[in-house]
Every structure is written in structure tokens, then in C-alpha cells.
């Protein structure tokens, strides 16, 4: 059985998003029904809606940085109650049994792959999943997060559900902490959370940016300085000095310029998934200093809860610009230009007027 939902969808790669009516499943025993209050706008939403990656199913309702209020729960749900403030991130299901799921790394599910909050195979209704640019969502309790922040901060909490965990997870995995020099490449949605979290973990943080005008913000967010990545002299001054670099750039670019800044045994972890591949990195830069280029995908559910609790403890939220649902295409266009300070968040009340 289903009930009607309202959302905003891309009908094709080259058409603007528009109001879209669809069906959500009625809650099963383990499900939580969530009225969506706010949804962050991730660059992955844009990549998917505009079919920059292969495999977008249309109509596509993006959105995987969801904060909302529990409207109802299934009979087997004990951890959540009506009225609770909760979050949903990039995943709504996984096999639950493979080694990765068993270790709480559901994002690396080895059998079915995790089910994306949007554009994934809907395990109950068939077809594909619809995300958070909508009035409500029905999610298995295992993929619902508790939000401990003040209610006044909820819009700025939404981006933690993707940008927060995607930066927190690799910073933890590569054991970033005091005494380390850490670089964050690209000061956008992911990047600005990377700065805040790495600084809260005690690292000395530098931002690499193509936008010199973001320097004051970078320092306010917790960085020592902003290095203009297109300025060879500024880059050279930091050669061989970084323990770890987190690269959030959403477009194809030269990786060698950043690898050269790593110390011996340093790692640069890639988060961005550009439409076109990066030029192949120079092998000599890696082997002569045992440097590594790695990748990292969001984070598991338990780690997402840990990140949310860390952000409460350290008083961290995103810097956001609130938009109405109908402004989504303008927001995407600004995101392509790097003109985001530093995450757009949709006030889902605006859906009523827009839909
Ligand atoms: P975003 O807000 O648009 O930020 C990306 C930043 O990269 C921009 O603000 C800009 O910063 C820099 N940049 C953009 N184009 C550039 C270019 N041509 N050359 C150099 N720098 C450029 O995007 P986001 O939401 O943070 O997402 C970043 C990427 O991560 C996307 O590809 C997204 O799909 C991916 N992502 C991956 C995961 C994962 O699990 N690995 C999760 C979420 C998102 P400056 O102005 O400072 O240069
Ligand atoms: Zn995302």
C-alpha cells in the first residue's frame, strides 16, 4: 500500500526541476515516517539530476541531507517516537549481512551495494528511490539518525548528513589529530565541513582554493591560511610538508600539484567524483616518497551518528544559504561556478507554495 507524496524532480538531464507527485510506501513494522523540514543541496544531486554520471533514472527526486520530524513509526520501532527530530543521509538500505555491513560500513555493501536515498533500486516498491526534495520520506529505522542539536540550528544540521560524514569518516580513518598538517582542497559544501571538523580534531588546517576571495572565510572556519592552488609560488612554499590532504574538488584537475605537497608516507584522499577523469598522476611523485592517493565514500550509519554527536559536542553546524524549492536550478548553476557559501539548504515549507 502507498500514500501520495509531493516533491521536485528532474524529468530529464537538460530540463529544470519541477513539481512532481509520486507514491511513498506505507510504513512497514521497522519503518519511520518523517516529515521533511530541511534538505541540503549536495553537488552529487546536481551530478545526478543532470546525468553527469551514467545511470540516472528519471524522474529523479534528489536530496540526501535530510532533517525532519517523525510523523509515525511502525510497530517494531523502539528507538524513535512521534515528534523526534531525526536525520537521513545518503543511504536507506543495504544487505546487512556481508562483511562490510557487519562491520558497520554499509556504504561499501558487497552484495547488493547500498541503496541510495535517491536513484537507488527501491527494495520495497520496485523502481527507483526518491530523495529529500519532498514533503516526507519512509525509511527503515536502521538508516535513521538521532539529531541532538538545538531546534534553531536544524537547517544548518542538514548538510552534516552528507558533507559532514563524508569528511569526518576519512579524517578519522587516516587518524588526523594534533600535531598534523592537513590540507583541504576546494572550499565548497564538503570542503568547509572538512575544515571545521579537522580543526576540531586538533589538526593544523590549510585550505587550497581556486578562489582567493574565500581567504577570510577559510580562516574564520578554522584554517591557518588559504593557499591559492593556481599560484605555483604559494604551492611551492608548502612542498613536502603535509601529513594528509582531503580533496573535495568536483571537477577534473591536476593531482600532481597536490601530491607534491605531501610528506613521505603522506596520503591524499579523493572525495570528488568528477564528470570527466583526472589526468593520470605521475608515478614518480608517489614511489619516491611512498605517498598514496586514496578514495573514501560517505561513512557508515554508526559513524554518522558518532559524527553528529561529535558536532554537538564541538558546536559544529554548516554555514548555509537557505533557499526555496523553486530556486533549485539557480542554486545548481551557482554551485557549478563555485559560488556557494557554503551549502544551500532547501526550506521544505516552500514546497507547498512551489508544488
Ligand atoms: P561544491 O559545494 O560544489 O564544492 C566543490 C568545490 O570545489 C568548489 O566550491 C570549488 O572550491 C572547487 N572547484 C570546483 N570546480 C573546480 C575546478 N574546476 N577546479 C578547481 N576547483 C574547483 O561540491 P560538494 O557538494 O562539496 O561536492 C564535491 C564533490 O564531492 C562532488 O563531485 C560530489 O559529487 C562529491 N561527493 C563525494 C562524496 C563521497 O562519498 N566521496 C560524497 C558527497 C559528495 P574553490 O572555490 O575553493 O576552489
Ligand atoms: Zn552528498
Q: What is the pLDDT of residues 78-95, one digit of tens each?
A: 999 999 999 999 999 999
Distance between Cα 151 and ligand 2 center (Å): 22
355 has a pLDDT exceeding 70: no
Average pLDDT of span 245-255: 97
Distance between Cα 250 and ligand 1 center (Å): 4
Give the number of the ligand closest to the Cα of residue 62. 2
12-60 residue pLDDT tens: 999 999 999 999 999 999 999 999 999 999 999 999 999 999 899 999 9
Tell me the average pLDDT of the chain: 97
Query: Which ligand 1 atom sits closest to the C-alpha of 295?
Result: 41
Please indicate whether residue 211, judged by its CB atom, sits closer than 6 Å to ligand 1. Answer: yes
User: What is the spatial distance between Cα 148 and Cα 151, in angstroms, rounded to a whole number?
Assistant: 9
How large a percentage of the chain has pLDDT more than 90? 97
**Alpha carbon of 248 to those of 97, 184, 255, 320: distances in Å?**
31, 7, 12, 18
Using an 8 Å Cβ cutoff, are 209 and 187 in contact? Answer: yes
Query: Which ligand 1 atom sits closest to the C-alpha of 297?
Result: 40
Q: Dihedrals φ, ψ of 34, to 5°?
A: -120, 125
Query: Which ligand 1 atom sits closest to the C-alpha of 335?
Result: 3
pLDDT band at residue 353 under the 50/70/90 scheme: confident
Q: What is the pTM of this model?
A: 0.97
Please, how many CA atoms are within 13 Å of residue 57, restricted to the half-sphere of its CB?
Answer: 13
Average pLDDT of span 302-310: 98
Best mutation site among 40, 62, 186 for ligand 1, i.e. most ligand atoms within 8 A of its Cβ? 186
Parallel/antiparallel/unpaired status of strands 18-25 and 320-323: unpaired
Specify the domain boundaries for CATH 3.90.180.10 within the chain: 2-162+299-354
Residue nearest to atom 21 of ligand 1 (CA): 249
Average pLDDT of span 205-228: 98
354 has a pLDDT exceeding 80: no
Please indicate whether residue 307, judged by its CB atom, sits closer than 6 Å to ligand 1. Answer: no
Instruction: Collapse the DSSP code of 270 into the 3-class scheme (helix H, G, I; strand E, B; otherwise coil) and give the result.
Output: strand
Distance between Cα 176 and ligand 2 center (Å): 22
Strands, E, within the chain: which ranges? 2-9, 18-25, 31-40, 66-73, 85-88, 91-93, 115-116, 136-140, 145-146, 181-185, 204-209, 225-228, 242-247, 262-270, 292-295, 320-323, 343-347
Specify the domain boundaries for CATH 3.40.50.720 within the chain: 164-295
Q: Note the pLDDT of residue 72.
A: 98
Parallel/antiparallel/unpaired status of strands 136-140 and 145-146: unpaired
Please indicate whether residue 88, judged by its CB atom, sits closer than 6 Å to ligand 1. Answer: no
Please give the CATH topology (third level) of the domain spanning 164-295.
Rossmann fold (3.40.50)
Query: Which ligand 1 atom sits closest to the C-alpha of 271?
Result: 41
Give the number of the ligand closest to the Cα of residue 162. 2
Please indicate whether residue 188, judged by its CB atom, sits closer than 6 Å to ligand 1. Answer: yes
Give the number of the ligand closest to the Cα of residue 117. 2
Residue with cell 521497522: 30
Residues near ion ligand 2 (CB < 5 Å) are 42, 44, 162
Please indicate whether residue 272, judged by its CB atom, sits closer than 6 Å to ligand 1. Answer: yes
Please tell us whether the domain made up of 2-162+299-354 is placed in CATH 3.90.180.10. Answer: yes
Please indicate whether residue 64, judged by its CB atom, sits closer than 6 Å to ligand 1. Answer: no
Q: Note the pLDDT of residue 291.
A: 98
Using an 8 Å Cβ cutoff, are 344 and 335 in contact? Answer: yes
142 has a pLDDT exceeding 90: yes
Amino acid at each position: 500500500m502507498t500514500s501520495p507524496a509531493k516533491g521536485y524532480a528532474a524529468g530529464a538531464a537538460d530540463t529544470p526541476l519541477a513539481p512532481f507527485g509520486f507514491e511513498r510506501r506505507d510504513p512497514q513494522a521497522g519503518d519511520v515516517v518523517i516529515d521533511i523540514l530541511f534538505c541540503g543541496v549536495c553537488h552529487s544531486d546536481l551530478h545526478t539530476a543532470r546525468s553527469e554520471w551514467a545511470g540516472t533514472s528519471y524522474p529523479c527526486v534528489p536530496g540526501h541531507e535530510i532533517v525532519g520530524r517523525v510523523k509515525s513509526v511502525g510497530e517494531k520501532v523502539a528507538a524513535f517516537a512521534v515528534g523526534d527530530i531525526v536525520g537521513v543521509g545518503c543511504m536507506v538500505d543495504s544487505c546487512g549481512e556481508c562483511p562490510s555491513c557487519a562491520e558497520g560500513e554499509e556504504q561499501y555493501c558487497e552484495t547488493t551495494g547500498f541503496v541510495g536515498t535517491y536513484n537507488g533500486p527501491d527494495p520495497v516498491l520496485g523502481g527507483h528511490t526518491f530523495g529529500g526534495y519532498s514533503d516526507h520520506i519512509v525509511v527503515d529505522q536502521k538508516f535513521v539518525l538521532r539529531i541532538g542539536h538545538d531546534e534553531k540550528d536544524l537547517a544548518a544540521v542538514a548538510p552534516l548528513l552528507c558533507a559532514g560524514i563524508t569528511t569526518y569518516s576519512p579524517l578519522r580513518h587516516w587518524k588526523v589529530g594534533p600535531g598534523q598538517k592537513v590540507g583541504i582542497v576546494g572550499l565548497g559544501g564538503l570542503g568547509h565541513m572538512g575544515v571545521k571538523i579537522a580543526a576540531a580534531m586538533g589538526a593544523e588546517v590549510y585550505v587550497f582554493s581556486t578562489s582567493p576571495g574565500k581567504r577570510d572565510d577559510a580562516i574564520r572556519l578554522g584554517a591557518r591560511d588559504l593557499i591559492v592552488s593556481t599560484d605555483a609560488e604559494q604551492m611551492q612554499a608548502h612542498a613536502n610538508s603535509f601529513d594528509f590532504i582531503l580533496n573535495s574538488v568536483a571537477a577534473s584537475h591536476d593531482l600532481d600539484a597536490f601530491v607534491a605537497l605531501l610528506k613521505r608516507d603522506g596520503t591524499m584522499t579523493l572525495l570528488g567524483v568528477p564528470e570527466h577523469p583526472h589526468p593520470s598522476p605521475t608515478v614518480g611523485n608517489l614511489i619516491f616518497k611512498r605517498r598514496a592517493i586514496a578514495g573514501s565514500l560517505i561513512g557508515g550509519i554508526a559513524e554518522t551518528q558518532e559524527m553528529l554527536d561529535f558536532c554537538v559536542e564541538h558546536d559544529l553546524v554548516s554555514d548555509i544559504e537557505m533557499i526555496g524549492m523553486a530556486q533549485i536550478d539557480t542554486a545548481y548553476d551557482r554551485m557549478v561556478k563555485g559560488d556557494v557559501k557554503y551549502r544551500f539548504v532547501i526550506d521544505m515549507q516552500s514546497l507547498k507554495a512551489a508544488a
